[in-house]
Amino acid sequence: MRLTTLVLALALAAGGCGGSSPPPGGGGGSGGGGGGSPKNWLAGGSGTLASSTDGVHYALSPAKATDANLWALYCVGQNIGWAAGDAGTLLTTLDGGTTWTARATGVTTALRAVAFADPLFGIAVGDGATILRSTDGGVTWAPASWPGLPPSTQLLAAAMSRTRSLAWVAGDGVIARSTDGGATFAAVAGVPANRWRGLRFAADAQHGVVVGDNGRVMLTSDGGVTWRAAATAPAALAGVSITPDGARIVAVGTTGLVWRSTDSGATFARVPTVTANLAAIGFSDDQPLQGWIVGSAGTILHTTDGGAHFVALSAPIAVDLTAVEDFN
pLDDT digits (tens, 9 = 90+) for 139-171: 999 999 999 999 999 999 999 999 999 999 999
pLDDT of residue 311: 95
Whether residue 14 has pLDDT greater than 50: no
> Looking at residues 132-136, what average pLDDT do you find?
98
pLDDT of residue 12: 35
Per-residue pLDDT tens digits for 215-257: 999 999 999 999 999 999 999 999 999 999 999 999 999 999 9
Contact between 200 and 209 under an 8 Å Cβ cutoff? The reply is yes
Per-residue pLDDT tens digits for 30-52: 333 334 444 556 666 777 666 66
User: How confident is the prediction for the chain on average, in pLDDT?
Assistant: 85
Residue 25 main-chain phi, psi, to 5 deg: 110, -20
pLDDT of residue 50: 62
Whether residue 4 has pLDDT greater than 60: no
Contact between 325 and 73 under an 8 Å Cβ cutoff? The reply is yes
Q: State the Cα angle at 220 between 216 and 224, rounded to 5°.
A: 110
pLDDT of residue 13: 33
Alpha-carbon gap, residue 193 to 270, rounded angstroms = 24
> Looking at residues 194-222, what average pLDDT do you find?
98
Q: How confident is the model at residue 181 (pLDDT cuts 50, 70, 90)?
A: very high
Whether residue 327 has pLDDT greater than 70: no
Per-residue pLDDT tens digits for 260-318: 999 999 999 999 999 999 988 988 878 899 888 888 888 889 999 999 999 999 877 77
pLDDT of residue 75: 84
Per-residue pLDDT tens digits for 41-89: 666 677 766 666 677 777 665 668 888 888 888 888 778 889 899 999 9
Closest CA to 281 of 313, 325, 320, 231: 325
Contact between 39 and 13 under an 8 Å Cβ cutoff? The reply is yes
Q: Which residues contact 62 (CB under 8 A, 6 or more apart)?
A: none
Task: Specify the length of the chain in residues.
Answer: 328
Strand-by-strand arrangement of the 70-76 sheet = 70-76, 80-85, 89-93, 101-103
* pLDDT top residue among 77 and 105: 105
